[in-house]
Amino acid sequence: MDPTWIVRLDLPGGGVRLAVKDCIDVAGVPTTVGCRVIAEQAVAVARDAAVVAAARACGAVIAGKANLSELCWSATGTNSWSGTPVNPLDPRRLPGGSSSGCAVAVATGAADVALGTDAGGSVRIPAACCGIAGLKTTRGRVPAGGVYPLAPSMDTVGALGRDVAAVELGMRLIEPGFAARPADLAVGRLRPPVDPAVDAAVDAALAAAGVRIGQAGGLDFAAAADAGNTLISAEAYQVNARLVPRLDQLSPHNQRNMTAAAALTAAQVTAANRTRQSVRRWFAVMLDRHRFLALPTLVGPPPLLGQRGMPLIRLTIAANLAGLPALAMPVPGGPAGLPASLQLIGPPGGEEQLVWLARAIESALR
């Protein structure tokens, strides 16, 4: 069985081939969320999620339900029950998650576009690991009906594609009429600590497109990631509390996640929410000054399978805390002979301009 998929459908039709992350309902198919405990009790759902219904109305053909990290609760993209999708750039490396199957399906050409979800980086991280593009949308812009949540206050639905044009196509499937809108070729450049080769690749891509660079700073990415992890844990525990009696049947990773989440105190969650408000205020100031922000998506190359210690969500989760749109796209010249990933963050509702800016950069690199 190909670990890219939970269920391969390849329904007939000549439209855009769409992979759907298996936390998003597709009529006639169970939604397992990559979890054996849920799969054992799951039945075929009666109706499509709102985003799937919209895509079908635009003529999309469902290629299948794509594999994912169990319960969407890991940025690695691995899954001990359903298998781990193979990174097409380097099979020794993680595919990234949680939307791992979506990224691999698009990168290998098994799907034209994929619909994933992103609560802390789960569209952008696998896009970065697999050398494709992915857009996390503004929180609340895309309907979440029929989507199994991880952290409701941070979850969004987004599109993945081989390039930015495919991401734009994905957005048109779920939001007819979506189109890139011209934007100023200028960004505020954030410089968190990353592999020097990643920084150099991002700078070279921006320079090639003639993007004007302003310097931005002052965000504590590690503190934001800690707060985001706390909030995801608190919310994910509530979403999945019914699984506690079968905790020992979850993956070891999620056994640890659930146990740690159960031990969170009200004071820890309150402190994390205070950090979230600080992050939102910081972004409001920076985006008023620069309109767009640019930084890497990952701090280094995609980790090797089994490698520990790389903070995968370090540079992505801040956008979730602030509810902002963020786009990851591949740029040449990254470490380990792989592409790096440039992340662009825009103001609320700024997806059309964000896509335009990304397309301008992508065109300059071709």
Answer yes or no: is pLDDT of 1 > 90: no
Determine which one of 21, 69, 100, 233 is catalytic.
Answer: 21
Percent of the chain with pLDDT over 70: 100
Is 98 noted as a catalytic residue in this protein? yes
Q: How far apart are CA 251 and CA 288, in angstroms?
A: 43
Answer yes or no: is pLDDT of 310 > 90: no
How is residue 311 written in tokens? Answer: 């903070």
* pLDDT for position 351: 99
* pLDDT for position 5: 99
Answer yes or no: pTM beyond 0.95: yes
* pLDDT for position 38: 99
Is 233 noted as a catalytic residue in this protein? no
- Cα distances from 145 to residues 25, 55, 189, 213, 352, in angstroms, run 9, 14, 35, 39, 23
Angle at CA 112, nearest 5°, toward 59 and 203? 130
pLDDT digits (tens, 9 = 90+) for 36-83: 999 999 999 999 999 999 999 999 999 999 999 999 999 999 999 999
Contact 217, 190 (CB under 8 A): yes
Average per-residue pLDDT for the chain: 98
pLDDT digits (tens, 9 = 90+) for 129-143: 999 999 999 999 999
Is 153 noted as a catalytic residue in this protein? no
- Work out the average pLDDT over 247-272: 98
pLDDT band at 180; cut points 50, 70, 90: very high
Determine which one of 100, 122, 233, 251 is catalytic.
Answer: 122
In which element (H, E) is residue 232 found? Answer: helix 221-239
**Domain spans in the chain, listed from the N-terminal domain onward:** 5-365
Sign of the alpha-carbon torsion through 139, 299, 263, 37: positive
pLDDT digits (tens, 9 = 90+) for 188-198: 999 999 999 99
Answer yes or no: is pLDDT of 182 > 90: yes
Contact 101, 5 (CB under 8 A): yes
- Work out the average pLDDT over 277-285: 99
With 0-12 / 13-18 / 19 or more C-beta atoms within 10 angstroms meaning exposed / middle / buried, residue 366 is exposed
pLDDT band at 167; cut points 50, 70, 90: very high
Answer yes or no: is pLDDT of 149 > 90: yes
* pLDDT for position 11: 81
Q: How far apart are CA 301 and CA 288, in angstroms?
A: 31
CATH class of 5-365: alpha beta
Question: At which residue do the structure tokens 């593009």 appear?
Answer: 133
Contact 97, 76 (CB under 8 A): yes
- Give the residue among 26, 8, 4 at the shortest CA–CA distance from 63: 8
Q: How far apart are CA 221 and CA 160, in angstroms?
A: 25
Determine which one of 69, 74, 82, 98 is catalytic.
Answer: 98
Distance between start and end Cα atoms, the chain = 36
* pLDDT for position 309: 82
- Give the residue among 189, 260, 191 at the shortest CA–CA distance from 230: 260
pLDDT digits (tens, 9 = 90+) for 333-360: 999 999 999 999 999 999 999 999 999 9
Answer yes or no: is pLDDT of 295 > 90: yes
* pLDDT for position 10: 79
- Give the residue among 334, 300, 296 at the shortest CA–CA distance from 318: 296
* pLDDT for position 64: 98
- Work out the average pLDDT over 312-332: 99
